[in-house]
Amino acid sequence: MPQVQWNANLYDDKHSFVSKYGEDLIGWLAPQKGERILDLGCGTGQLAAEISNYGTLVTGMDNSPEMIAKAQATYPEGRFEVRDARDFVYDIPFDAIFSNAALHWINEPQAVIRSMYNALGTGGRLVIEMGGKGNVKDIVQAIEEAMWEAGWWERLAPEFWYFPSVAEYATLLESAGFEISTALYFERETLLSGDKGMENWIRMFGGFFFEHLSPAEADKIIARAIALLRPAHFRNGSWYADYKRLRIKAIKHASI
């Protein structure tokens, strides 16, 4: 998994839809007063703060020092830590683990699931939403086509997102000892912010594609990809991303 340098301020300014859509996921979590909850991949901490309003004890965890620094500065009363989701341990088990739009950034799912399972107490619940199979397929194809046209295909960095199907991820969870309570896969075309919404999205979330290009070369590819996407993804002055989401609630019933 390559290192991604996050711009935490730009994330909150131009990509606040990530947290906005995550608010609905809190309903699946149904946090109860006094519960210990881990927000895995908490980003800038907005959802962790909202969950704490239910009287819970929330720990926000993210692999990005930039995100954790912004979370701690914005919510100084909260607990936020830089940790790797593939290998983390807590001394006291959590009642629930919550994760929104984070797990598709880690293409070692078995390691993440094992760590989540071990961090929950018996009866603890896991509530996650992530990109599902086919997520942002059109955006990826536009970038690839632009690289082909420019003759730079061999310089395109490989995609490392992990977008599983319901069956694939449910099988991994069950193999680790979870019991699936609810699973949902759905299309959610997502409105991007501003007339440069698609450009900002590609630079924030897809910048890794261009690590072998100069800034000027990356600008050329992004401009061409945007032109390819415009007919289907720009309407009435707004950009839309072709999101497909996977949402799952699972329970840890007993150690295996």
Looking at per-residue pLDDT, the higher value among 19 and 215 belongs to: 215
Domain 8-252 CATH (choose: 3.40.630.30, 3.40.50.150, 3.30.230.10, 2.40.160.20): 3.40.50.150
Contact between 89 and 119 (Cβ < 8 Å) = yes
The pLDDT of residue 246 is above 70 = yes
- pLDDT at residue number 9: 52
The pLDDT tens digits for 190-236 are 999 888 999 999 998 999 999 999 999 999 999 999 999 999 999 99
230 vs 10, higher pLDDT: 230
Of the listed ranges 45-54, 140-149, 154-163, the least confidently predicted one is 154-163
pLDDT of 11: 44
**78: region left, alpha or beta (phi > 0 left; psi from -120 to 50 alpha):** beta
Contact by Cβ (8 Å): 2, 206: no
pLDDT value, residue 245: 96
Measured distance CA(51)–CA(30) in Å, rounded: 9
Please name which of 238, 242, 214 lies closest in space to residue 141, comparing C-alpha atoms.
242
**Least confident stretch, 36-45, 143-152, 158-167, 168-177:** 158-167
Please give the share of the chain, as a percent, with pLDDT higher than 70. Answer: 90
What is the pLDDT at residue 217? 97
pTM beyond 0.85: the answer is yes
Q: Give the orientation angle of helix 137-150 with respect to helix 197-205, to 10 degrees.
A: 80
Average pLDDT of every residue of the chain: 90
What residue segments make up the domains of the chain, in order of their start? 8-252
∠ CA 126-129-130, rounded to 5°: 125
